Amino acid sequence: MQTNIDTLLGNQSSDTIHSASALTSLIKTEHNQNAFTHILTLFGQALTPYIVREILNKLSDVFEPSSLAFHHLSGVFGDDVIEIRGHSNSSDHTHINQLLSDVTQRFNVDAGIQKDRPSLSTPGLLVMDMDSTVIAIECIDEIAKLADVGEQVAEVTAKAMRGEIAFNDSLIHRVACLEGVPLAHLMAIRDSIPIMPGIQALISQLKQHGWKLAIASGGFTYFANYLKDRLGLDYAISNTLAIENDTLTGKVEGEIVNAQVKARTVDTLTEQWQISPSQTVAMGDGANDLDMMSHAALGVACHGKPLVNEKADVAIRVGSLHSMLYFLGR
C-alpha cells in the first residue's frame, strides 16, 4: 500500500510542498482512467502531499487508490480539492464514515468516499434544510430566547435534532411555549438572520447549470419564505405558525413538516421538474433530514450531528456550504 501511495505522491515532505500548484507536479495518473469504482474527495486550505499521504494511510483498510487529479473546481473558491480514484475494500458505511471523521478532525480538512456522483453540468435538484444549514441559527430557539423560555425550548430542539424524541411531539411542545410572543420578535430575528457562508457561491454555481433549489424545513414559513425570495430559490416548504392580532397563538397550522414530509418533497419536486433521480441531492444537519437524504441520490450532512455524519453519504465537517459542489462530478 505504501509503495502505491508513494508512486502517486512521490516522496516529498510537507516541508517543501505547501500549495496546490506544487502538488500539480506530483500528481500522476494511470493509463486506464476507468479502472476505479469509487472516488475519495479531499478538500481544504493548502493541502500538502504529507496530509494526503497520511489520510490515505489512515484509510488503507477501506480504500485502495489508483490515480489522483484535481477536481474541476479546485481553487475556484480558494480551496484545494483533490479527487483520488480507486477501489473501496469495505461495505461498512458506518466504519468508513468513522475513519473519515477521524482524519478530518486530525487535519481540519473534509473528505468523502463516493461510488456514484451527480454531475454539476446536468440539471439537478438540491433540497436543503434551513435551520443550522442555510442559516446559522435554530429560529425557534431564537424566538424562545426573546420569550424568556430559551433554555427549555433549546433542550427539546437538541433532543429532536439528535433523534431522541419524535419531531412532531417536540415541535408541538416547543411552539406551545411561544404563546403570546409578538410578531415583532420574529421580524427582529428575520432582519438579522445569519446566512451560512458559501450559500451564494453554491446557489450561483448550481443555477448556472440549470439546477432547481429548494428548502424543506421543520422551521417556519415566516423565515423560509423570506429566504426563498432573498436567495432566489425555486421552492420552500415549512411549518406555519398560527398568528392572531400580531401575536403567536402557540399552535401550528396545517400539516407538520417532519422527516417524512421532507422526503416526500424530494420525490415530488423530482417528478414535478422532471429531474433524473440520479441528479438529486439533499443536505441537512439533523436526524429529521436523514429520510430526505435517503430519497436523494446524494445525502450530504452539513456540520451535522454525529448520527447524521455517520449515516449520510458524505459530510461537510469543516468547509462552507459551497463545499457541496466538490462532491459533484463535472
- Select which of 79, 80, 110, 129 is catalytic: 129
Out of 79, 80, 110, 131, the active site residue is: 131
Give the separation between CA 282 and CA 208, rounded to whole angstroms. 19
Residue 315 corresponds to which cell in the numbers above?
459530510
Architecture field, domain 2-114: 2-Layer Sandwich (3.30)
Indicate the angle between helix axes 167-176 and 139-146, nearest 10 degrees. Answer: 20
Q: Do domains 2-114 and 125-327 have the same CATH topology?
A: no
Q: For the structural domain made of 125-327, what CATH number should be given?
A: 3.40.50.1000
| Confidence at residue 6, expressed as pLDDT on a 0 to 100 scale | 57
What are 295's three cell numbers?
430519497
Task: Answer whether 65's CB lies under 8 Å from 86's CB.
Answer: yes
- Long-range contacts (CB closer than 8 Å, 24 or more residues apart) made by 11-17: 12/49, 13/49, 13/50, 14/48, 14/49, 14/50, 14/51, 17/48, 17/49, 17/50
Q: Based on the residue annotation, tell me whether 148 is a catalytic residue of this protein.
A: no
pTM for the model stands at: 0.90
Distance between CA atoms of 127 and 279, rounded to whole angstroms?
Answer: 11
The answer to whether 311 and 290 are in contact (CB under 8 A) is yes
Residue 124, classified by CB atoms within 10 Å of its CB into exposed (0-12), middle (13-18) or buried (19+), is buried
What CA–CA distance (Å, rounded) separates 51 from 62? 18
Q: What is the pLDDT of residue 9?
A: 62
Does the annotation mark 291 as catalytic? Answer: no
**Quick one: residue 277, left, alpha or beta (phi over 0 = left, psi -120 to 50 = alpha)?**
alpha
Q: Could you state, in order of their start, the residue ranges of all structural domains in the chain?
A: 2-114, 125-327
Q: Which residues contact 235 (CB under 8 A, 6 or more apart)?
A: 212, 213, 214, 215, 228, 269
- Cβ–Cβ < 8 Å for 233, 253: no
Mean pLDDT, each 10-residue run in order, the chain (330 residues): 51 46 49 75 95 95 94 96 94 91 95 97 98 96 88 82 83 91 95 97 98 97 98 98 96 96 98 98 96 98 94 96 97
C-alpha to C-alpha distance for 309 and 51, rounded to whole angstroms: 22
